[in-house]
Amino acid sequence: MDKLHTFYYFLDLAGTFVFAISGAAAAKQRGLDLFGIFVVAYTVACGGGIIRDVCIGAIPPAGLKTWYYLVTAMVAAFMTIGLYPIVERLYRPVLLFDAAGLSLFAVTGAQKALSYGHNGQVAVLLGIITAVGGGVLRDILLNRVPVILEKEIYASAALVAALIVVLGSYIKWLSNDWIAIIALTVCFTLRMLALRFHWNLPSFSKTKEATDK
Amino acid sequence: MDKLHTFYYFLDLAGTFVFAISGAAAAKQRGLDLFGIFVVAYTVACGGGIIRDVCIGAIPPAGLKTWYYLVTAMVAAFMTIGLYPIVERLYRPVLLFDAAGLSLFAVTGAQKALSYGHNGQVAVLLGIITAVGGGVLRDILLNRVPVILEKEIYASAALVAALIVVLGSYIKWLSNDWIAIIALTVCFTLRMLALRFHWNLPSFSKTKEATDK
Amino acid sequence: MDKLHTFYYFLDLAGTFVFAISGAAAAKQRGLDLFGIFVVAYTVACGGGIIRDVCIGAIPPAGLKTWYYLVTAMVAAFMTIGLYPIVERLYRPVLLFDAAGLSLFAVTGAQKALSYGHNGQVAVLLGIITAVGGGVLRDILLNRVPVILEKEIYASAALVAALIVVLGSYIKWLSNDWIAIIALTVCFTLRMLALRFHWNLPSFSKTKEATDK
């Protein structure tokens, strides 16, 4: 149990960190000021989790209450500002960090909903919302159609991770740690493969408008 | 009481269904992918209700917890994708479905807020939010000014419906079923007449900018 | 205690009023209809507080429950519509009202979070969210990047006010009234000076895109 909780907190912090970097990088590219970069970094990092906590009745939301989330988001934002040449030289850093955070948050989001006694559907939906909510809020703040709605396997990877967590908790063949590791790996791999090979879900409109970037 | 509850659930499901179709149609026209169409359909269908449930303390929100909302939204999204030629040939289908969902959600939203013991003002405001919240979220996701703010009698029709429900529950001249039916009819009629005859509320700016569709 | 509560309610109402005027003015300039102006006015006035109340567990949110918030927002919207020539002739009225509301809401938001027994970090964050949440929602509804993220000292002034309230409540050198007055004055002064002298926080991108107004 202790081990699980340590693992759980580690996942949560790691997810917070990589999402904050992805948010800070997007805000920096858009030319926001120092405070705007912090806000977007913090929103991407904690926004999905705050929506989840409000929906499961975890008041006040962990993203607001816990000092190390805030500090982690701040450190990530400072790192992105101060060490941007390094962050930038990594291969498509925003997309990579985004995929890691996506996997981590889908798993921890579904786990937390289950641990509050809610049913599997709530856990799957809130796993997805924890994972993609911050990114959707980022795109809304930066005034663009959320990238997850238009292309590539993104929220569907989070869906797979959350489903694995929920099914695993019902079937109980493996420990929760192993289920989490499997869910993480599958989701991250799926997302990176989708990016690498430009996998997309089918879209159905012939009159697709030019999307505003 | 049983009859009322059956009626209540029927209204809720019907509203969910038509709103999901309206969301899926808008997302499809915009060229979103399969998952994006689902997400927008589900958001339009359940978004307003989730905001309502969070505000009245109904945790977890029914839109997340209840399987038939999710299934209804999925069926509606599949129908819109698979049978789009049929959906499209209906007269302005999105607007029609939207008007039906608007009326249904304003009534059930106000009823649920009252049934949780909140006052009439909360019920009226949350009736409106239940009715228009999903559509506002849809327009925010699709990166446009929510259509309800710019033209035509829309949220004001929801206001009338919610007011009828609240006043009816105070005056108690009629059964709740009849009050709901009256509120539904008035709201739907008002909205369809506004669409047919291009009724608009007054706007006050001479320098109205071209609105981005 | 009575005096504090009277002061607290006065601050809350004054903040509601000035934020509603700022929202109504922005909606009117954008050419929204009568209902749209009300909605944006009410959203700016009560949106941040509703997010705060949902996060601290104050159900239903005061902005929905309390009749004088709604009436205050309505009066402000009517005033903006009816007396717009007067409102317009004031020097940059939207910015002035916005600065006053910002200070008032940061203080009352932090105070309310503390009074619900939450920790200092929650109070600071929710003070900021109460102060800037409504304005962010306004900009999202009007389909533009929230002005607070791009330029000028805005949310950072709210941060200072919320910090003063929280630190003051820990140190207890002064009565809460005086702490509130100091926090208000500092925040308002900071914001007006930033507007007057075009103080900005540093931004870090050389490829700043033209921002869409």
The answer to whether residue B213 is domain-embedded is no
Answer whether A119 sits within 8 Å of B32, measured CB to CB: no
Position C110 pLDDT exceeds 90: yes
Give chain C positions within 8 Å (CB) of A61. Answer: 55
At C210, the pLDDT band (50, 70, 90 cuts) reads very low
pLDDT reported for residue C3: 61
CA-atom Rg of chain A in angstroms = 17
pLDDT reported for residue A148: 73
Answer whether C33 sits within 8 Å of B151, measured CB to CB: yes
CB atoms within 10 A of CB A115: 14
- What's the pTM? 0.85
Nearest C-alpha neighbor of C154 from the set C180, C169, C135, C171: C135
| More confident call, A189 vs A172 | A189
Give residue C173's domain range. Answer: 2-197
Neighbours of chain A (3+ CB pairs under 8 A): B, C
Nearest by CB to A35, which of C201, C208, C209? C201
Number of domains comprising chain C: 1
pLDDT reported for residue C141: 87
Averaged pLDDT of chain B: 81
CB atoms within 10 A of CB C178: 11
Q: Select the highest-mean-pLDDT range: A58-72, A198-212, B139-153, C89-103.
A: A58-72
pLDDT reported for residue A163: 93
DSSP C144: S
Q: Give A40-84 pLDDT, tens digit per residue.
A: 899 888 999 899 999 998 888 988 888 888 898 888 888 888 877
**CA-based nearest distance C57→chain B, Å:** 8
Whether the CB-CB separation of C168 and C179 falls below 8 Å is answered with yes
Neighbours of chain C (3+ CB pairs under 8 A): A, B
Nearest by CB to A141, which of C55, C122, C146? C146
The answer to whether residue A206 is domain-embedded is no
The answer to whether residue A204 is domain-embedded is no
Answer whether A203 sits within 8 Å of B143, measured CB to CB: no
Q: Touching check for B136 and chain A: CB below 8 Å? A: no
Region of poorest pLDDT, from A52-61, B56-65, C91-100, C104-113? C91-100
Residues contacting residue C3 through CB under 8 Å, at least 6 positions apart? C177
Answer whether B31 sits within 8 Å of A211, measured CB to CB: yes
Backbone conformation region of residue B145, classed left if phi is above 0, alpha if psi is from -120 to 50, else beta: beta
Position C9 pLDDT exceeds 80: no
Position C180 pLDDT exceeds 80: yes
Q: Which residue of C has its CA nearest to A71?
A: C121
Average pLDDT over residues B19-44: 85
The answer to whether residue C203 is domain-embedded is no
Average pLDDT over residues C103-124: 90
Q: How far, in Å, CA of A51 to CA of A66, rounded? A: 15
Give chain A positions within 8 Å (CB) of C131. Answer: none
Nearest C-alpha neighbor of B156 from the set C36, C80, C45: C36
**CA-based nearest distance C34→chain B, Å:** 6
Averaged pLDDT of chain A: 81
Average pLDDT over residues C55-59: 89
Average pLDDT over residues A190-211: 66
**CA-based nearest distance C1→chain A, Å:** 26
pLDDT reported for residue C208: 40
Percent of chain C having pLDDT more than 90? 17
C-alpha distance from residue C42 to each of A197, B156, B205, C73 (Å): 47, 14, 19, 6
At C127, the pLDDT band (50, 70, 90 cuts) reads very high
**Mutating which of B204, B206, B208 best tests the C interface, going by the most C Cβ atoms within 10 A?**
B204
Answer whether A209 sits within 8 Å of B30, measured CB to CB: yes
Q: Which residue of B has its CA nearest to C54?
A: B55
**CA-based nearest distance A4→chain C, Å:** 27
**CA-based nearest distance C96→chain B, Å:** 21
DSSP A160: H
The answer to whether residue A209 is domain-embedded is no
pLDDT reported for residue C83: 77
Q: Give A137-160 pLDDT, tens digit per residue.
A: 888 888 887 877 766 678 889 999
Region of poorest pLDDT, from A78-87, B104-113, C52-61? A78-87
Give chain B positions within 8 Å (CB) of C32. Answer: 149-150, 203
Nearest by CB to A149, which of B60, B84, B141? B141
Q: Touching check for A149 and chain C: CB below 8 Å? A: no
Q: Touching check for A118 and chain B: CB below 8 Å? A: yes
Q: Touching check for C31 and chain B: CB below 8 Å? A: yes
Answer whether B33 sits within 8 Å of A122, measured CB to CB: no
Neighbours of chain B (3+ CB pairs under 8 A): A, C
Give chain A positions within 8 Å (CB) of C140. Answer: 140-141
Nearest by CB to B205, which of C31, C60, C64? C31
Q: How far, in Å, CA of C42 to CA of C63, rounded? A: 9
The answer to whether residue A208 is domain-embedded is no
* Alpha helix stretches (DSSP H) within C142-209: 155-171, 176-197
**CA-based nearest distance A167→chain C, Å:** 30
Average pLDDT over residues A7-24: 78
Q: Touching check for A210 and chain B: CB below 8 Å? A: no
Whether the CB-CB separation of C122 and A60 falls below 8 Å is answered with yes
Position A212 pLDDT exceeds 50: no
Region of poorest pLDDT, from B174-178, B193-197, B209-213? B209-213
* Encoded tokens for C6: 């009277």
The answer to whether residue A202 is domain-embedded is no
Answer whether A148 sits within 8 Å of B60, measured CB to CB: no
* Encoded tokens for C71: 């009436």
Whether the CB-CB separation of B37 and B81 falls below 8 Å is answered with yes
Give the phi and the psi of residue A203 in degrees, each rounded to 5: -115, 160
The answer to whether residue A213 is domain-embedded is no
